[in-house]
Amino acid sequence: MTDAPTPPGPLVAVIGGGMAGLSAAWELVSGTEGVPPRVVVLEAGPRPGGKVRSTEFCGRTVDLAADAFLARRPEATRLCGELGLTDALVAPGTSGASLWARGRLRMMPDGVNLGVPTRAWPMIRSGILGPAGLLRAGLDLVLPHPGDPGATADRSVGDIVGSRLGHEVVERLVDPLVGGIHAGGVDDLSAESTFPPLLAADRRSGSLIRALRQPTAPAGAPSAPSPGPDARPTPVFWSLEGGNARLPAELAAALAARGVATHTGVAVESMERLPGGAAGPTWRLALAGDAAGVVGSEGPSDSLRSLDVDAAILAVPAGQAAGLLGDHAPAAASLLADVELASVTVITLSMPAGAIRSPLVGTGFLVPRTSPVAGRTALITGCTYLTRKWPGLARPGDELVRLSVGRFGDDRPDSLDDDELTAAAVAELSVVLDVQAPPRASLVTRWHGAFPQYRVGHLERTSAIERAVGGLPGVAVAGSAYRGVGIPAVVGNGRQAARSVLASLNGSTPARTGR
């Protein structure tokens, strides 16, 4: 007598092959008890990895978006460990950054917590604030602040800092740092979502400056494990040998080794709920594009097919998720459709050796929106000294720098073609760094709608979306639109979505991590 064959596990489709989707797929096939699910990743673009991408430029591999991830959040570092990449982690070759303030570059002073100064003398010496701005910020140390520990309402980062420390601190320090991370303005950004320790400190009595003297973990970050006695010191940022884009490439390869098929060029156009319930698949996905290779799909042509699945994780931008959920969770779809997006452009330059006359100190500089360059509102928002930050990129004869352009509400980059945009950005760089020669080569990468804006009340809206989607069997959402825009946050969010789906398939309720 032979044993009966084990029935196949449920089929889970991960829609979207960015870092959230790949991380969700990894969680689905990692350490699952019982019959593991079958997993398929469907990515509409030509490659997995989403915005974590790299390319060859002047004989070197350069990242086209995020070139590092926060070490204080453990999700990405832990994933690297699971993939056997711990020894490939590399720290920046230098630290510190400057601000373009009051007509010249000034080093960011010690004791700044996401733009909020917490030490007087370094702030005074930096020259970033004028005398009036310093006096206004200093009032926080002496004026009574009663606090309101029972307050529950969210507030904007700019509102809190401006009311406590004055507008110069907001405009010259907090906005370029916190606003720069989200390509938005801190007058609109949710403190609860982007800088929760600030909101907590404001609710307590006493000085905001004193309350923020301890470094804070980013929004939604779980506690990092304590390092062992032999652990190497943890830097602020990590990347990987060969570039940050190595992470999704290694992850996709590890998924393939576990039987997960990642299909690129395959879009999911709609979802249909099936009546079978426990007797069969729950969802029918309408596929478009290069769908012929998707095992189990059927349809009249290679490009118009459908796939029946037991569960689906929507790791796609907010607008696309809204379209897929419109017939099934209209409340969630409406909230997702209202998410505003910012576009940014990255311009990578090879500058001839000696062309940059100013000393390149630290990893680069930021440009506050209120600090004009050559008498005009700056187009560039920041600059990274790539070959200083990552010495492995250095070669004789040139200096690689990367300019960031664009933020929410600034549509000027969209009106310029790549050559015009490069010329305008290089002209501003020439003012800031005294550049005396044109670039040898340039590369323009446009990220349209890449940054969801976390408006005041964002976490409340995110929780409402997750509750509404949670009412659908075997469905979850993941990505940068929800609980953080950095790589660690997106990795953690993808894995949490996978745990939610596994719990739904098993008939249990998952425990949430973070808010």
Question: CB of 190 within 8 A of CB of 454?
Answer: yes
Q: What is the pLDDT of residues 1-15, one digit of tens each?
A: 444 444 578 999 999
Mean pLDDT confidence for 456-465:
98
pLDDT at 269 > cutoff 90:
yes
pLDDT of residue 4: 44
pLDDT at 225 > cutoff 60:
no
Mean pLDDT confidence for 202-213:
95
pLDDT of residue 234: 76
Q: Which two tokens stand for residue 147?
A: 């606090």
Mean pLDDT confidence for 367-389:
96
Strands 116-117, 266-273: pairing is unpaired
DSSP letters for 43-87 = ESSSSTTTT--EEEETTEEEESS---EESSSHHHHHHHHHTT-GG
Output the pTM of the full model: 0.92
Mean pLDDT confidence for 195-223:
82
Mean pLDDT confidence for 386-401:
96
CA distance 198 to 216: 9
pLDDT of residue 507: 80
pLDDT at 515 > cutoff 80:
no
Work out the pLDDT band at 404, boundaries 50, 70, 90. very high
pLDDT at 438 > cutoff 80:
yes
pLDDT at 460 > cutoff 70:
yes
Amino acid symbol at 269: E
pLDDT of residue 449: 95
CA distance 423 to 296: 50
pLDDT of residue 302: 74
State the first-to-last Cα distance of the chain, in angstroms, to the nearest integer.
Answer: 53
Q: What is the pLDDT of residues 290-316, one digit of tens each?
A: 998 998 888 888 778 999 999 999 999
Question: CB of 140 within 8 A of CB of 118?
Answer: no
pLDDT at 499 > cutoff 60:
yes
458: part of which helix (H) or strand (E)? helix 458-470
- Enumerate domains of the chain plus CATH numbers: 11-52+244-339+455-506 (3.50.50.60), 111-211 (1.10.3110.10), 341-452 (3.90.660.20)
User: In the chain, what percentage of residues exceed pLDDT 90?
Assistant: 86
Question: CB of 76 within 8 A of CB of 246?
Answer: no
Work out the pLDDT band at 229, boundaries 50, 70, 90. very low
Among the listed ranges 209-223, 262-276, 377-391, which one has the minimum average pLDDT value? 209-223
- The dihedral sign for the CA sequence 238, 244, 246, 247: positive
Q: What is the pLDDT of residues 23-66, one digit of tens each?
A: 999 999 996 666 789 999 999 999 999 999 999 999 999 999 99
Work out the pLDDT band at 514, boundaries 50, 70, 90. very low
pLDDT at 200 > cutoff 50:
yes
Question: CB of 441 within 8 A of CB of 57?
Answer: yes
Question: CB of 40 within 8 A of CB of 68?
Answer: no
Work out the pLDDT band at 216, boundaries 50, 70, 90. low
